[in-house]
A = this chain, B = another copy of it.
Amino acid sequence: MFEQFAGLRKEAELFFRTLQDEITTTLEIVDGAGKFRQDLWERPGGGGGRTRIMAEGRVFDKAGVNWSAVHGDSPQNPDLKFFATGISLVLHPRSPKIPTIHANFRFLQNSSGDAWFGGGIDLTPYYLDEDDAHEFHLKLKVACDRHDIGYYPRFKKWCDEYFYIKHRGETRGIGGIFFDQLGGNERELDKIFLFVQEMGQTFLPAYVPIVEKHRGDSYSEEEERWQLLRHGRYVEFNLVYDKGTVFGLETNGRTESILMSLPTLARWEYDMQPKAGSPEAKLLDVLRNPREWATIT
């Protein structure tokens, strides 16, 4: 492996691995019934990972929390070697009143001297709770602001742009933060790593209160149907636009680990339009016109 940033590489790998433990332990407590099943896997070209999946829990219908650290010849450029480590998670709750959440943090390095971090956290509600949206974004903003006052506005916008389903004219959810290829020299990388660690630690406090608030909410079959239709959009985004998914599938990544992000069930109905003024239409309006949620009013 490359000599440069050897310490950072080890620290990032360990941080993401420990974060996976912390998150899966807490999520089992939150769920109260489901347990994570672990699959250890090795990558033929070098490295491997731990895929952890909870299926049919009490709160979570499907939850995947993956960690990996892989290296070898770059799939994009055979003249380069690469190293990549990260954590990626998607939680799909049973209840349409609890949002789906996705988070991902990663460190990449290649033999041409490039090294960078990428990642983000974003929320995908089926029914909009404005207080939740506000709290969620505010927590991300506060964590960002401690590192760089410019991060939140830049990464919030990046998130809205990244999770955009062009052929629907909608974002996937109400966003959060997204950043990619944040790199530089050793000092800059150390600063970014501190930020990434803080964002990793912000995941549970930003999401778990939303779960606790809505876990007792009742819901109807019609609301479940809407959840499945929105799951269809989630599938559309991930299979058509998500760079990690498309790149992973193209470069012979571990298919089952990559596609753990898909919900158990997704629905498509021809030309489905929610009634004007309905809670479903209210969500769509926010997906078509992303809002600023972290403003203090």
Residues of B within 8 A of A264 (CB): 267-269
Enumerate A257-278 residues with CB–CB distance to B below 8 Å. Answer: 258-260, 262-271
CA–CA, A68 and B240, complex, Å: 24
- Indicate if the CB atoms of B259 and A263 lie closer than 8 Å: no
CA–CA, A2 and B264, complex, Å: 49
A39 in the interface (beta carbon within 8 A):
yes
- Indicate if the CB atoms of A240 and B235 lie closer than 8 Å: no
Which residue in chain B gives the minimum CB-CB distance to A39?
B271
Q: Contact partner of A232 among B55, B256, B262, B267, CB < 8 A?
A: B262
CB distance from A72 to the nearest CB of B (A): 19
- Indicate if the CB atoms of A263 and B268 lie closer than 8 Å: yes
A249 in the interface (beta carbon within 8 A):
yes
Which residue in chain B gives the minimum CB-CB distance to A53?
B270
Interface size class of A (residues with CB under 8 A): 20 to 34
From A53, A166, A228, A265, name the one whose CB has the most chain B CB atoms within 10 angstroms. Answer: A265
Residues of B within 8 A of A236 (CB): 239, 259
Provided the pairs A55-B270, A236-B239, A239-B240 are in contact, do residues A265 and B228 lie with their beta carbons within 8 angstroms? Answer: yes
Residues of B within 8 A of A262 (CB): 232, 268
Which residue in chain B gives the minimum CB-CB distance to A260?
B270
CA–CA, A271 and B259, complex, Å: 10
Provided the pairs A167-B255, A239-B236, A239-B240 are in contact, do residues A267 and B267 lie with their beta carbons within 8 angstroms? Answer: no
Provided the pairs A255-B167, A265-B228 are in contact, do residues A270 and B239 lie with their beta carbons within 8 angstroms? Answer: no
Q: 11 other contacts beyond A239-B240, A240-B246, A256-B271, with CB at 8 A cut-off?
A: A62-B270, A167-B255, A168-B255, A228-B265, A232-B262, A235-B239, A240-B240, A256-B270, A259-B268, A260-B270, A266-B266
Point out residues on A near B: beta carbons under 8 Å.
Answer: 39, 53, 55, 62, 64, 166-168, 228, 232, 235-236, 239-240, 246, 249, 252, 255-256, 258-260, 262-271
